[in-house]
């Protein structure tokens, strides 16, 4: 999952990782960092970016979990991003346990 997450870092068109029927002008976003840590029975994902699409973080987590389960190959992530098709990514992770830790504004 850690190796696969490296493909998501940077500026990309994240249309693949957006909930259906979202109304946005652009699906271009920048991910600055993704860290994944296992702590006993929990896996903690920290995702830092300039902004996020509706359900983007949950879909990224679901996709990375599918990589961990062997249902998606880590080397397929670049193609999944470029295809811009929601069907190519993993499932939307459930909202339980998801929280916004910090928001930074650039003046």
What domains can you pick out in the chain, each with its CATH number?
Answer: 2-88 (3.30.70.660)
> Rounded to whole angstroms, how far apart are CA atoms 26 and 1?
27
Model-level pTM?
Answer: 0.92
pLDDT over threshold 90, residue 52: yes
| pLDDT (tens digit per residue) in 63-97 | 999 999 999 999 999 999 999 999 999 999 999 88
| Neighbour order of strands in the sheet with 28-39 | 10-13, 28-39, 42-49
The mean pLDDT value of the chain amounts to 93
User: Which DSSP string do the residues of 17-85 spell out, in sequence order?
Assistant: GS-TT---S--EEEEEEEEEEEETTEEEEEEEES---TTHHHHHHHHHHHHHHTSS-GGGHHHHHHHT-
Amino acid 12: pLDDT? 97
């Amino acid at each position: 999952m850690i190796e696969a997450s490296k493909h998501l870092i940077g500026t990309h068109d994240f249309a693949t990782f957006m909930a259906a029927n979202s109304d946005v002008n652009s699906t271009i976003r920048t991910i600055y960092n993704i860290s994944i840590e296992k702590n006993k029975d929990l896996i903690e994902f920290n995702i830092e970016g300039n902004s996020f699409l509706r359900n983007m973080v949950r879909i990224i987590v679901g996709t990375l979990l599918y990589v961990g389960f062997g249902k998606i190959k880590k080397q397929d992530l670049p193609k999944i991003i470029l295809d811009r098709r929601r069907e190519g990514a993993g499932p939307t992770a459930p909202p339980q346990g998801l929280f916004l830790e910090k928001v930074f504004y650039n003046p």
